[in-house]
Amino acid sequence: MKAKSLVVANWKMNKSYVPGIMLLNQIISALDPLPEGQEMVICPPYIHLQTAQTLTKDRFDVYIGAQNCHVQKEGAYTGEISAPMLADLDIKYVILGHSERRRDFGENGKMLTAKLKQVLRQNLQPIYCFGEPLQVRKDGQEQAFVEQQLQEVLGQLSPQQMEQVVLAYEPIWAIGTGQTASPEEAEAMHAFIRSYLAKTFSEELAQKITILYGGSCKPSNASALFAQPNINGALVGGASLNADDFLAIVEAGREKL
Ligand code: 13P
């Protein structure tokens, strides 16, 4: 089995309810069915999830994801949303470990391992994000840094659990900066990630895992990124808030992935 290709929208904390649902409608109504093995995923804020799920439930190429969830199943955690609540809505994916959450909410490897396991217990698919800050890349330590972020979380999973995980390499210096990793820089890291998976699990499993690139992905650079053999799609922030731009990235994926 080959890794599936995903183009994932991370709306972050953008779009209130009505503009968000309008954007989703604009995107899905313009999208011709994707070939087997390719999916478009939209991760809006929590308030959109139920409507978004209803609007996309008859499409086999469009799925909805959440941007986070709590580590516990239920309880006295004011303001939080649990993985079982997302599973109840038939949400398919949950982004975990985004650098903005590591930075702003102190999420670390131990916490993220527990979150991944909770999400997997609910039969949801985690999209596990990781990536190095600028200084680490300047120091030439990016592979060691990423290996640590992989090992402290993925190293705690069984092969069966790992098969359900999507990975997203998002170098922090490329997020929201307009500065994308070059296709060669991104491919070098993606090849490194796949070799980590082969070493830790097996070559067969490594080939099945979807590895997304994230960080200033836009229509002008998507095709070159998707042409790289170890890049299976993208996690898109800013450009996913515009229907034409996001659809252009999805179309680049249709051609290349
Ligand atoms: P940008 O595409 O805005 O750089 O954001 C990337 C990202 O953080 C997606 O999760």
pLDDT in tens, 21-70: 999 999 999 999 999 999 999 999 999 999 999 999 999 999 999 999 99
Residue 1 in this model has a pLDDT that exceeds 80:
no
C-alpha 5/C-alpha 38 separation (Å) is: 5
Partnered with residue 141 across adjacent β-strands are: none
Which of 1, 7, 2 lies closest to 212 in space, CA to CA?
7
* Ligand 1: centre distance to CA 75 (Å): 32
**Which ligand 1 atom lies nearest to the CA of residue 174?**
4
The closest of 188, 168, 146, 167 to 236, measured between CA atoms, is 168
pLDDT at 59: 96
Domain enclosing residue 25, as ranges: 5-254
Six-digit token pair at 29?
Answer: 């109504």
Q: Which residue has the tokens 């699990």?
A: 201
Q: What is the position in ligand 1's atom list of the atom closest to the CA of 236?
A: 2
Q: Are 184 and 225 in contact (CB under 8 A)?
A: no
Residues with CB under 6 A from ligand 1: 10, 98, 170, 175-176, 214-217, 235-239
**What's the gap in Å between 235 CA and the centre of ligand 1?**
7
Mutate to test the pocket of ligand 1, among 10, 127, 242 (most ligand atoms within 8 A of CB): 10
Cα three-residue angle 83-197-209, rounded to 5 degrees: 55
Please tell me the residue having the least CA distance from ligand 1 atom 9. 237
Closest-CA residue, ligand 1 atom 7, reads 237
Nearest CA among 157, 251, 167, 158 for reference residue 214: 167
* CATH code of the domain in which 231 resides: 3.20.20.70
Q: 58 CB contacts (<8 Å, ≥6 apart)?
A: none
- Digit-coded pLDDT (tens) for 156-212: 999 999 999 999 999 999 998 888 889 999 999 999 999 999 999 999 999 999 999
Tokens of residue 118, six digits: 């909770």
The total number of structural domains in the chain stands at 1
Percent helix, strand, coil in the chain, to 5, is 50, 15, 35
The number of helix segments (H) and strand segments (E) in the chain equals 12, 8
* Start-end of H helices in the chain: 17-30, 49-56, 83-88, 99-105, 109-121, 134-138, 142-154, 159-162, 183-200, 203-208, 219-226, 243-256
Give the position of tokens 């490329």: 174
pLDDT at 223 (0 to 100): 96
Residue 153 CA to ligand 1 center (angstroms) comes to: 22
What are the pLDDT digits (tens) for 104-146? 999 999 999 999 999 999 999 999 999 999 999 999 999 999 9
Measured between alpha carbons, how far is 71 from 74 in angstroms, rounded to an integer?
Answer: 9
